[in-house]
């Protein structure tokens, strides 16, 4: 990420939009893929708070197994009222299992595994931003491939060594009001249990809940999907209760088929402020843009890969690269 002392707003928005449009317009042809990338909050300071994965399965999908590996790099500095220094790389392996039961219901269990370190991507990310003309901020002046997560103000965070841990386990239940070849509308609720470590930022130390609605429209070459929901932490041991407040989250994705095997996708995800009384943009409202591709392998498997950028400056990781695989017991 860039220096939070810079003015807030959008950075490199035109470059992001041009890149997404170029990817979508390059090819003609719908791989019958899921509607969202399996991504959620990658910010290490608030990843312990519950934000559910997208719920884009169909009732006929049967059992679904998925694993998504994401690698995020961050470089952030502080505000006068609070002391913040974030420099490092966060890797996450997200595992989930989903299935249908009764006539109109599906359930899902998810668990993330985190690894924080100095990483190896700093030089590569610097080149990436130069290639696409994105704002470098103070990235070139940070130490390369070192980890330092430090925050004081509303709470205290001090991580200076690589660490690995299992995050909070979550379970969700969804009811499908409409589900046919052209459209889907489903309502979901979920709970997260405090199974992770607060000191490693893998948990907020409390049970959390969320409710949301999912909608999707499908055409021969296009898929559009959106989600709108509310997340509520039932406690907060990281920021001394300042994050014990509801947060609205929303997602939108557009998928363009290139034929029977490939499709391209652009996805926006945002949420309102998670930590009250903080001037740090990394703890405030966020907006991310993800762009990538989906490759279908036979009737049961498909791969997802791409990158995500903080579309609103200093509200999330500088960049995230992701690779995922899903297996469904029946095809969409």
| pLDDT tens by residue, the chain, 332 residues | 333 333 344 444 455 444 444 444 443 334 344 899 999 988 999 999 999 999 988 988 889 999 999 988 876 767 778 888 888 889 999 999 999 998 899 999 999 999 999 876 555 655 655 665 655 555 455 555 678 899 999 999 999 999 999 999 999 999 999 999 999 999 999 999 999 999 999 999 999 999 999 999 999 999 999 999 999 999 999 999 999 999 999 999 999 999 999 999 999 999 999 999 998 888 999 999 999 999 999 889 999 999 998 888 888 888 899 999 999 886 44
For 125, the domain range is: 13-328
Q: Do the domain assignments include residue 4?
A: no
Q: Do the domain assignments include residue 8?
A: no
CA distance 162 to 85: 16
* C-alpha dihedral sign at 85, 87, 93, 98: positive
Give the count of domains, the chain: 1
pLDDT at 31: 37
Q: Do the domain assignments include residue 2?
A: no
Based on DSSP, count helices (H) and strands (E) in the chain, helices before strands.
2, 15
pLDDT at 1: 38
Q: Do the domain assignments include residue 214?
A: yes
Helix (H) or strand (E) holding 222: strand 222-233
- CATH code of 59's domain: 2.40.160.40
Are 106 and 57 in contact by the 8 Å Cβ rule? The answer is: yes
Q: Do the domain assignments include residue 5?
A: no
CA angle 252, 257, 258 (to 5 degrees): 140
Q: Do the domain assignments include residue 234?
A: yes
| Long-range Cβ contact pairs of 171-175 (< 8 A, separation 24 or more) | 171/107, 171/108, 171/109, 171/110, 172/52, 172/55, 172/107, 172/108, 172/109, 172/110, 173/105, 173/106, 173/107, 174/55, 174/105, 174/106, 174/107, 174/108, 174/214, 175/104, 175/105
Q: Do the domain assignments include residue 3?
A: no
């Amino acid at each position: 990420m860039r220096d939070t002392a810079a003015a807030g707003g959008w950075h490199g928005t035109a470059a992001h939009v041009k890149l997404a449009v170029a990817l979508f317009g390059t090819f003609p042809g719908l791989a019958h893929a899921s509607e969202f990338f399996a991504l959620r909050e990658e910010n290490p300071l608030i990843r312990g708070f519950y934000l559910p994965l997208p719920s884009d399965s169909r009732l006929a999908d049967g059992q679904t197994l998925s694993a998504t590996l994401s690698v995020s790099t961050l470089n952030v500095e502080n505000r006068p009222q609070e002391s913040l220094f974030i420099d490092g790389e966060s890797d996450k392996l997200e595992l989930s299992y989903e299935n249908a039961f009764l006539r109109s219901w599906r359930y899902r269990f998810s668990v993330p595994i985190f690894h924080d370190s100095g990483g190896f991507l700093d030089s590569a990310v610097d080149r990436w931003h130069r290639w696409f003309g994105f704002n470098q901020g103070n990235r070139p002046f940070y130490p390369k491939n070192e980890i330092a997560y430090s925050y004081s103000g509303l709470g205290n965070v001090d991580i200076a060594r690589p660490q690995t841990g299992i995050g909070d386990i979550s379970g969700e239940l969804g009811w499908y009001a409409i589900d046919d070849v052209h459209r889907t509308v489903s309502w979901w609720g979920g709970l997260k249990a405090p199974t992770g470590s607060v000191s490693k930022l893998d948990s907020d130390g409390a049970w959390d809940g969320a409710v949301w609605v999912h909608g999707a429209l499908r055409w021969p070459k296009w898929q559009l999907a959106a989600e709108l929901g509310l997340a509520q932490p039932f406690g907060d041991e990281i920021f001394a209760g300042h994050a014990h407040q509801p947060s609205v989250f929303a997602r939108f994705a557009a998928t363009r088929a290139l034929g029977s095997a490939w499709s391209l996708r652009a996805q926006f995800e945002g949420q309102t402020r998670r930590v009250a009384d903080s001037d740090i943009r990394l703890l405030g409202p966020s907006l991310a843009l993800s762009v990538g591709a989906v490759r279908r392998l036979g009737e049961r498997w498909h791969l997802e890969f791409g990158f995500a950028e903080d579309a609103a400056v200093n509200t999330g990781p500088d960049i995230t690269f992701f690779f995922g695989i899903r297996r469904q017991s029946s095809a969409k």
